[in-house]
């Protein structure tokens, strides 16, 4: 049996990834953003296009109406240990221009 000379067991290799979709129910084109990251502008391609998102475990995502985190906001919180799909197409869809994400304790 081969033993690796370094023990990396102390590293937490989990990366919490949030996925944003152009259509409701996680449909269509998508992009990802790691928990803890933010985007002051989602880019011309994605501006006012997000209709649903899959939020990582223990993560809060805040969608902002304008660039640089301005305007109305929609706060989505997933306190569970599993990913959760939020549909925002009815009450906030196609209004997102910037995003913040936070890891919850």
> Does residue 33 surpass a pLDDT of 50?
yes
* pTM (predicted TM-score): 0.86
Average pLDDT value for the chain? 90
DSSP letters of the chain? ----SS--TTS-----EEEEEEEGGGEEEEEEEETT-EES---TTTTT---EEEEPTTEEEEEEEEGGGEEEEEEEEE-SSS-EEEE-TTTTTT--SEEEEEE--
**pLDDT level of residue 15 (50, 70, 90 thresholds):** confident
CB 56 within 8 A of CB 69: no
> Does residue 4 surpass a pLDDT of 50?
no
């Amino acid at each position: 049996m081969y033993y690796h000379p370094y023990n990396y067991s102390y590293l937490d290799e989990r990366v919490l990834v949030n996925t944003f979709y152009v259509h409701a129910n996680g449909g269509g084109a998508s992009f990802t953003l790691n928990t803890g990251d933010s985007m002051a502008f989602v880019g011309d391609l994605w501006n006012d296009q997000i209709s649903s998102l899959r939020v990582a475990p223990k993560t809060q995502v805040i969608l902002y109406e304008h660039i640089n985190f301005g305007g109305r906001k929609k706060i989505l919180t997933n306190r569970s240990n599993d990913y959760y799909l939020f549909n925002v197409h009815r009450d906030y869809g196609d209004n997102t221009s910037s995003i913040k994400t936070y890891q919850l304790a």
